[in-house]
Amino acid sequence: MRLTSAFSILCLSAALGTAFAASPVHTSGHAVTLDLISGQGTANGGLNFNGGFKGSKTFTVPLGSVVTVNFQNMGTLAHSFVIRKGGTVPTDADATDAAFPAAYAPMKVEAGLKTGMTQKVTFKANKAGAYYIVCGVPGHAMGGQYIHLVISKTARTASFN
Ligand SMILES: [Cu+2]
């Protein structure tokens, strides 16, 4: 019973934390949502995801998660995203680079989404490893618009750091 109570308090704290800190990740069983925001603020001249660029931020999700990406472009330029395999620093990305079916947006990755537009995609994170989230608008990856995504065998909840 004590464990159950502690867990309830943790969950309440997590819920409150989400409300106040606007965490971009949420985990509910195997379902994970990532609020991926391009052009959030002026970091790297707007060529960023959630304020991160050149790999300075990392989303982590548990292996086996069904990941829904709520993508929103808050920047002044058009942006897109592709989840592609980690390794060599990405210099570009298009839909054919996607590491999982549907792990990109919009359909015309190179054109991107205009300011204020949103798109939701869902994919199954069924291969553990290191990935990049990269903007596919020409020049943006070269300019540093990429962050990390880790699909983890050990993580129990999604996180953003
Ligand atoms: Cu971009």
Domain boundaries along the sequence of the chain? 24-160
**Residue 47 C-alpha to ligand 1 middle, in angstroms?**
6
Cα(9)–Cα(88) distance, integer angstroms: 42
- pLDDT at residue 1 above 60? no
pLDDT at 11: 43
CA-nearest of 47, 38, 100 to 70 is 38
Cα(158)–Cα(84) distance, integer angstroms: 18
**Model pLDDT for residues 87-109, shown as the tens digit of each residue:** 999 999 999 999 999 999 999 99
**Residue 54 C-alpha to ligand 1 middle, in angstroms?**
12
**Model pLDDT for residues 78-87, shown as the tens digit of each residue:** 999 999 999 9
**Residue 58 C-alpha to ligand 1 middle, in angstroms?**
17
pLDDT at 21: 52
**Residue 145 C-alpha to ligand 1 middle, in angstroms?**
6
**Model pLDDT for residues 24-59, shown as the tens digit of each residue:** 999 999 999 999 999 999 999 999 999 999 999 999
**Residue 65 C-alpha to ligand 1 middle, in angstroms?**
26
The model's confidence at residue 10, banded by pLDDT at 50, 70 and 90, is very low
Intra-chain end-to-end CA distance of the chain, in Å: 32
**Residue 38 C-alpha to ligand 1 middle, in angstroms?**
7
**Residue 62 C-alpha to ligand 1 middle, in angstroms?**
26
**Model pLDDT for residues 105-141, shown as the tens digit of each residue:** 999 999 999 999 999 999 999 999 999 999 999 999 9
**Residue 137 C-alpha to ligand 1 middle, in angstroms?**
5
The model's confidence at residue 7, banded by pLDDT at 50, 70 and 90, is very low
Cα(70)–Cα(9) distance, integer angstroms: 27
**Residue 31 C-alpha to ligand 1 middle, in angstroms?**
27
**Residue 151 C-alpha to ligand 1 middle, in angstroms?**
23
**Residue 124 C-alpha to ligand 1 middle, in angstroms?**
24
**Residue 132 C-alpha to ligand 1 middle, in angstroms?**
14
Q: Which fold has domain 24-160?
A: Immunoglobulin-like (2.60.40)
